[in-house]
Structure 1
Amino acid sequence: MTKIRLMIVDDHEVVRLGMRAAFELESDIQIVGEASNGGEAVAKISVLDPQVILMDVQMEKMDGIEACREIKSRYPHIQVLMITSFTNEEAVMASIVAGASGYLLKNVSRSELLKAIRHIASGQSLLDPQQAQQVMSRMTAGNISTPGEDLTEREREVLALVARGYTNKQIAEALYVSEKTARNHVSHILEKLGLSRRSEAAAFAVEHKLVPPQKHSSDDH
């Protein structure tokens, strides 16, 4: 029997241990390795040679979506299954665009997770049942979300400043708000975009042209 070579990528050790326990008794699945973030996963692939990667969406250093994009560009034959603790439609869309074969919530049952792994290992695509109908209908209709469309006008201003390298204190000064308010705006932006780091938000803003040409202050970076 040819076993499915599986790699687990999650920044929480307890989660990785739990997933490993879910797969170790399966005769058709071989866990070839683990990684705690996307960057580590990308670096280990050439040695571990996984067939399927179970990838957390939100991680430090390099998130799952960015890692998926990098992996699929280098190793298009590898199937990536995104898994997350929360429902985020924009993250689902970003995962699909990045080349993921599926997207599941972490509260799925063990049997559902095993079925998903085997499903994508055979080369088929999979979406979480809660997301599939809406996402697929939008893609079929060509009505794909504009990146960052659910950000408020103020959040777009904050994102533009993040992209220019502003700290929370500098954002607060530029927009005449408290530093706590600026920090909260940044947190909300990361949550809405399905990202975990300011640098990722900055890259997202530049990539999707969300940084307006005008400057907010004379000392703009």
Structure 2
Amino acid sequence: MSDRDRPLRVVAADDHPVFLGGLKLLLDTDPGLACIGTAGTGAEAVEVTRRTRPDVAVLDLHMPGTNGVDAARAISVAVPETALLMLTMLDDDESVFAALRAGARGYLLKDAQPAEIVHAIHAVAGGAAIFGPRIAHRIMDHFAVPRTPTSLAELTPRERDILQLLADGATNAAIAARLQLSPKTVRNHVSSIFAKLHLTGRAEAMLHARRAGLGSP
């Protein structure tokens, strides 16, 4: 079985056993997903993710000891190929943007429908950024300020082209194909964009680009 055909490997972390059990059942009953590990604390989430190296880690924010944001930050460093999806009850600005800065590609609330959770896992695994409706509205409200395209002045024309595609949620592979560049060249450009704009991940890059007027309407 090729990587494209196999189920996505997922680690789930939540400190509520009943919710965690239900989430594991959802993952195991979907043919496109497989739960390969669970954790009840942030520290356990980091350890299990380091050991199993899943495609996606689904994290709660409020967990004892190491919280979800700190766990996400540690996972982003230790296992950067693992996409992070936050699944939580917290919808305040501080929690949302702290999670994005820590490397989360998606943010859903726990009242999301099972199909939404499954879709979000596949989306973040594919490199997209995805948010629940209430979170999306909160993000849009936060960035409802005059556009500031001059903030992109430090970027080269090629970097602006790549940021334009990042704004639409394109993966590095899709960007490479669209611009006829090697994947390594795209990765280098993306790293340069993050450094110049002081960004911590793709989700934050997408929001920054949208704020500057890039991306499809």
Aligned-pair distance for 1:46? 2.8
Q: 1:117 to 1:142 in 2, by over 3 A?
A: farther
Q: Work out the number of aligned pairs and report it.
A: 143
SS at match of 1:2: coil
Equivalent-residue separation in structure 2 for 1:63 and 1:88 (angstroms): 16
- 1:117 maps onto 2:128 in alignment: no
Correspondence for 1:166: none
Q: Percent identity between the aligned chains?
A: 30
Correspondence for 1:187: none
Give the alignment of 1:136-215 within 5 angstroms: 136=140, 138-139=142-143, 141=145
Q: TM-score, normalised by structure 2?
A: 0.62
Is the 2:49–2:57 contact (alpha carbons within 8 Å) kept by the matching residues of 1?
no
- 1:173-197 per-position Cα deviation (integer Å, ceiling 9, x unaligned): xxxxxxxxxxxxxxxxxxxxxxxxx
Equivalent-residue separation in structure 2 for 1:138 and 1:88 (angstroms): 11
Equivalent-residue separation in structure 1 for 2:81 and 2:95 (angstroms): 22
- 1:71 maps onto 2:75 in alignment: yes
Correspondence for 2:52: 48
- 1:16 maps onto 2:20 in alignment: yes
Aligned-pair distance for 1:139? 4.8
- 1:123-161 per-position Cα deviation (integer Å, ceiling 9, x unaligned): 111122112133146358599xxxxxxxxxxxxxxxxxx
Equivalent-residue separation in structure 2 for 1:55 and 1:142 (angstroms): 33
Give the alignment of 1:127-138 within 5 angstroms: 127-136=131-140, 138=142
Amino acid at match of 2:83: Q
Equivalent-residue separation in structure 1 for 2:67 and 2:59 (angstroms): 9
Say what the alpha-carbon RMSD is for the aligned residues: 1.9
Which of 7, 25, 36 does residue 11 from structure 2 map onto? 7
Correspondence for 2:207: none
Bigger Rg, structure 1 or 2: 1
Structure 1 portions without partners, runs of 5+:
144-221
Correspondence for 1:204: none
Correspondence for 2:43: 39
Equivalent-residue separation in structure 2 for 1:110 and 1:64 (angstroms): 21
Q: 1:32 to 1:137 in 2, by over 3 A?
A: same
Equivalent-residue separation in structure 2 for 1:128 and 1:21 (angstroms): 21
Q: TM-score, normalised by structure 1?
A: 0.60
Is the 2:61–2:90 contact (alpha carbons within 8 Å) kept by the matching residues of 1?
no
